[in-house]
Amino acid sequence: MHDRVIGDLGSALTRRVRGLLFVLLSCIVATVDAAAPLSSTARAEIEGLMSRLEASGCEFDRNGTWYTATQAVAHLQRKAKYLEDRGMVGSAEEFIELAASGSSVTGRPYLVKCGGGSPVKSGEWLLLQLRGMRAGGRPSGQP
C-alpha cells in the first residue's frame, strides 16, 4: 500500500513537472519568436520617418530642451537600435510608441515644433508622417 501511494505521488509530481516544463519551454519559444529581426517594411518605414523628421527643419523638445531635427534623429536612431537589438519593436507604430513618443527616463512626452506653429506631441506628428508615407504623400509639418 505504501509503495502504491508513493507511486501515485510520483506520477502526479511527474505530470506536474512535465506541465511546468511545457509552460517554461513555451515561454522560451515565445521570447525567441518575439526577438525576430525587424521586417524590411518596418525598417524602411522607420528610416522614412527619420528622413522626414530630418528634412522637416522642425525642432524637437526632449525633457524641456529643444534640439534640431538632426539631433533628434540621432537620438531616436539610438533608441531604435536599442529596441531592435532586443527584439522589442516590430513595426513603425511600435517604434513611435516605444521610442519616439517620450522619454523612457522621465516619462515626459517629446514635442515637435515646425516653423511658427504650436508644439505637438511627437507621436502624433510621426503617425501623421507615417500615414502620409503609406498613402504615398509628401511630408507634412503640423498635424
Residue 141 has what DSSP assignment?
Answer: S
Q: pLDDT over 90 for what percent of the chain?
A: 68
Q: How many CB atoms lie within 10 A of CB 91?
A: 15
**What are the residue ranges spanned by the domains of the chain?**
1-34, 40-134
pLDDT in tens, 111-134: 999 999 999 999 999 999 999 999
> Residue holding cell 518605414?
45
Round to whole Å and give the CA distance between 117 and 13: 67
| This prediction's pTM | 0.72
Sheet holding 65-68, edge to edge: 65-68, 59-62, 111-113, 120-121
Q: Rounded to 10 degrees, what is the CA torsion of 31, 36, 41, 43?
A: 90
pLDDT in tens, 62-77: 999 999 999 999 999 9
Mean pLDDT of the chain: 84
